[in-house]
Amino acid sequence: MKAVTWSQPDDCVLCRRRMWRKMLRPCNLLLWQVALSLSYHVVTASPCGGGSDIFAALRENSPTGQFISELGITAEPGANRANSLRLCVSGEDAAWFYLDGRTLRLNASDPRVLDKEAQGPMLIAELTCYQDDVIQSKFRILVEILNENDNRPKFVEETIHRFTVNELTAVNSVLFTVKAVDADGDVISYIIDPSSSDPQFFRIDLPNSGKIVLNKPLDYETRTQVQVLIWAQEVNTEEKFNTSAVLTVNIEDGDDQYPHFLPCTRVSPGVPVCVSPTYSTNITQKHQDLVLKFSPGPIRAEDGDRGLNTPLIYSILSGGNQSRFEINNRTGEIQLTRAVPLRHQEKTFTLSVMVCQEDDHLKYSVVSVLIRVLNENTFPPVFNRTTFKGFIVQNLNPASIVTTYGNHVLQILASDRDFSDGLNPNIHYSILPPSGLYQVTNDGVLIARTDSLHAFDRHIIQVVARDEESGEEVSASVDIEVLQTGQLVPRGAFTEQQMFGNVDSRLAGGIIAIILLLVLSAVVFLMLRVVKRR
């Protein structure tokens, strides 16, 4: 037997070229035709005889040198060099094999790992046996790649991108479908992580479907965006490999809110329902053709659907007093078109103003507008003195009223000549700067924190009277003495007028007569004594 050699796939190319040259020889033409007609024919007399097709299986990720199969040929490659025997592995996947004697092994490496997902389910090659550069036999090599669970699920990117959902979407609607793929072909189940940011808004009815269903109504006015964590997990494997993705859902505003007037006072925190304010202003009988300024103002409303901001229309429902008051239907400004006559009996006008959406008049709100008619302010408020005297007796009561001479209640009142009785009901009293020991009522009465005062203390405070309509102010000082417990409040200032001011005139006359009689008696006594001595 001649020596047997084998070649790698590159040698096969040279082998084929030589083969084609020999085929062209006339003497070998008939033999080649016979070889073509008898595919995979084995010449039993040849050293290449005894072989057969190779069918094997390998797990992916098998190491290099992994045994595949023993060759069935009779001769041992390299046993006798006298006979030229060569084995050649060819084909698309030939690089994955090498021959170790009559053993076929896996030709893998660190950078090139056998991977079913990349290579496919089969390795297909061909083993050719040459003798004297003549093909003696061909055998198929079919190696099945067995799968291993070496891949984790992966979400399809376009199924987990940012979503937008209208807040009016009905509960139980399918919002979107997520999808994950596993290169190993494993069955995937989807789970919403209950510890994520907003799991209460979504659910998955069929775990294998990936369909995300709306579980709770959305509200743009409360939340404009929600997030949820989705897990994709293998079901049919021991490893239970999984992967996760955060889904961000932007909430789109829907037309579900009514317009409201500003400022908006919420019914309760987190509830998008406003209590409408009451707008008010003051005018006088000389005002006319005037755009009114209101408090809190100006009169303005906004669409409750902030994301839509639908244009609004204003109108006066009632109280316009025959077009005396007109409103700009776009801006909400109210104009006084003509003056209120002096003989007019009404001192207050109450208007009902409505605002509605331009595209839906059934979405509206109504607010009250109060307009007070005031008399002309000619005189400022005044105090009848610049300094008031007050007393407070120390005691354990938390609060006591400050009194004045004679233990009368001290009342600090400002008068206003614009009123017939001098009392302006719009005057507000305050202490400046504010005191922690004293307060003043709207009736001008001072109240002291008695338990915080000390005997013999003296306090001087400033009381300010302000006309809330005209803004005019006047102030006066109050001198307050703290008396010790049990001490009487003085009856009056130490003057002759104060000493006898509270005594009956007849009693005073009798006292004076007695004093004069005593004085006269003393004079007569002295005169008699002098006469007696003489």
How would you classify the pairing of strands 473-483 and 438-440? Answer: unpaired
- What single-letter DSSP state applies at residue 486? T
Q: What is the pLDDT of residue 75?
A: 64
- Per-residue H/E/C for 220-266: CCCCCEEEEEEEEEECCCCCCCEEEEEEEEEEECCCCCCCEECCCEE
CA-based nearest residue to 431, from 470, 388, 396: 388
Q: What is the pLDDT of residue 507?
A: 52
Q: Which ranges of the chain have pLDDT less than 70?
A: 1-47, 75-83, 270, 272, 342-345, 494-513, 534
Q: What is the pLDDT of residue 126?
A: 92
CB contact burial 297-309 (16+ within 10 A = b; e otherwise): bebbbbbbbeebe
Q: What is the pLDDT of residue 510?
A: 61
Angle between helices 26-37 and 9-23 (to 10 degrees): 120
What kind of fold does domain 4-146 have according to CATH? Immunoglobulin-like (2.60.40)
CA-based nearest residue to 87, from 135, 28, 154: 135
Token readout for 293 is 């300024």
Q: Show Cβ contacts of residue 13 under 8 Å, excluding neighbours closer than 6 positions.
A: none
Is 154-252 a CATH 2.60.40.60 domain? yes
Q: What are phi and psi of 513, to 5 degrees?
A: -65, -40
Q: What is the pLDDT of residue 112?
A: 84
Q: Show Cβ contacts of residue 434 under 8 Å, excluding neighbours closer than 6 positions.
A: none
**CATH H-level, domain 260-374: superfamily:** Cadherins (2.60.40.60)
Q: How many CA atoms lie within 13 A of 136 on its CB side?
A: 24
Residue type, 98: Y
The C-alpha atoms of residue 77 and residue 85 are separated, in whole angstroms, by: 7
Residue 534, judged by CB atoms within 10 A of its CB (0-12, 13-18, 19+), counts as exposed
Q: What is the pLDDT of residue 430?
A: 93
Specify whether the CB–CB gap between 96 and 108 falls below 8 A: yes
Q: What is the pLDDT of residue 388?
A: 94
What kind of fold does domain 382-483 have according to CATH? Immunoglobulin-like (2.60.40)
Residue 228, judged by CB atoms within 10 A of its CB (0-12, 13-18, 19+), counts as buried
**Residues 272-293: pLDDT tens digits?**
678 889 999 988 888 888 999 9
The C-alpha atoms of residue 152 and residue 181 are separated, in whole angstroms, by: 9
The 10 Å Cβ neighbour count of residue 414 is: 24
pTM above 0.95, yes or no: no
- Per-residue H/E/C for 305-370: CCCCCCCEEEEEEECCCCCCEEECCCCCCEEECCCCCCCCCCCEEEEEEEEEECCEEEEEEEEEEE
